Structure 1
Amino acid sequence: MSKVSNFKDAWKTPAKPTGAATNTLISQRVVPPNGPEGLLKQAATSAIPARDKGGKRVVNLKSSVCEPSPIADRMAVENDPDYEDLKESIRQDGQKVPILVRPKLEQPDRYEIAYGRRRWRACRELGIGVLAIIDEDLNDEALVIAQGKENHERKSLSFIETALFVKRLSKEFPNQTVAKAIGVKSVAAVSHYRKVADAIPEDLITKIGPAPKIGRPKWISLSELFVRFTSNQTKGLARLTGSEKWKTGSSEERFNIVFSYAKTGGKRTDDNSTNEVLDKDGTTVLLLKESKSGVKFAFRGKRGAEFSSFLAEQIPALLAKFEEQDDEQ
Structure 2
Amino acid sequence: MSRRSGKSILANFGSFADVKDQDDRENTDTPKRDMPGPTRAPGRVGAGVIGATQRSLNDLIEQRDRLQAIVESGGNVELSPNVIVPSPFPDRLADDTDKEFEEFKRSFKETGQKVPIQVRRHPEKEGVYQVVYGHRRWRAAKELGIALKAVVVELDDSELVVAQGIENGQRQDLTWIERALFVATMDDAGIRTKDIRAALSIDDAELAKMRSVCRVVPRDIIRSIGRAPSVGRPRWLELAAAVAAQGAEKKLRETLSADKVMAMASDARFRRVLASLKEASPETKNLTKLYGLGGQELGTIAVAKGVVRIALPTSRGADFAEFLERELPSLVEQYVSTKSGDS
TM range (shorter): 0.5 to 0.7
Equivalent residue for 1:79? Answer: 97
Equivalent residue for 1:63? Answer: 81
Deviation at 1:214, TM superposition (A): 0.9
Q: Assess, with a 3 A threshold, how the Cα gap between structure 1 residues 237 and 40 changes in structure 2: closer, same or farther.
A: same
Q: Which residues of structure 1 form unaligned runs of 5+?
A: 1-30, 268-329
Matched, 1:195 2:212: yes
Q: Assess, with a 3 A threshold, how the Cα gap between structure 1 residues 244 and 110 changes in structure 2: closer, same or farther.
A: closer
The match for 1:219 among 236, 242, 250 is 236
Q: What secondary structure is seen at the aligned counterpart in 2 of 1:228?
A: helix
> What TM-score do the two structures reach when normalised by structure 2?
0.60
**Which aligned pairs between 1:1-329 and structure 2 lie closer than 5 A?**
48-51=67-70, 56-135=74-153, 137-171=154-188, 172-184=190-202, 186-230=203-247, 233-264=248-279
Deviation at 1:41, TM superposition (A): 11
4+ long deviations beyond 6 Å: none
Deviation at 1:152, TM superposition (A): 2.4
Equivalent residue for 2:327? Answer: none
- Whole-Å Cα distance in 2 between the matches of residues 139 and 42 of structure 1? 26
Q: Which residues of structure 2 form unaligned runs of 5+?
A: 1-17, 20-28, 36-63, 283-343
- Whole-Å Cα distance in 2 between the matches of residues 142 and 41 of structure 1? 23
Percent identity over the alignment?
34
Native 8 Å contact 1:236 1:266 kept in 2: no
Q: Assess, with a 3 A threshold, how the Cα gap between structure 1 residues 201 and 51 changes in structure 2: closer, same or farther.
A: closer
Which is bigger in relative contact order (C-alpha 8 A, separation at least 6)? 2
Deviation at 1:243, TM superposition (A): 1.8
Q: Assess, with a 3 A threshold, how the Cα gap between structure 1 residues 266 and 207 changes in structure 2: closer, same or farther.
A: farther
- Whole-Å Cα distance in 1 between the matches of residues 71 and 180 of structure 2? 35
Q: What secondary structure is seen at the aligned counterpart in 1 of 2:150?
A: strand
CA RMSD of aligned residues (A): 2.7
Question: For structure 1, which segment, 71-80 or 143-152, has the greater mean C-alpha deviation from structure 2 after superposition?
Answer: 71-80
Render the CA deviation track for 1:285-315: whole Å, top value 9, x for unaligned: xxxxxxxxxxxxxxxxxxxxxxxxxxxxxxx
Render the CA deviation track for 1:256-283: whole Å, top value 9, x for unaligned: 000101122679xxxxxxxxxxxxxxxx
Answer with 1 or 2: which has the greater Rg. Answer: 1
Q: Assess, with a 3 A threshold, how the Cα gap between structure 1 residues 74 and 213 changes in structure 2: closer, same or farther.
A: same
Deviation at 1:52, TM superposition (A): 7.6
> What TM-score do the two structures reach when normalised by structure 1?
0.62
Q: What secondary structure is seen at the aligned counterpart in 1 of 2:85?
A: strand
- Whole-Å Cα distance in 1 between the matches of residues 168 and 90 of structure 2? 11
Aligned length: 225
Render the CA deviation track for 1:36-89: whole Å, top value 9, x for unaligned: x9x95988xx78222486x64111210000001222110122523332232122
- Whole-Å Cα distance in 2 between the matches of residues 265 and 168 of structure 1? 35
- Whole-Å Cα distance in 2 between the matches of residues 102 and 134 of structure 1? 5
More strand by share: 1
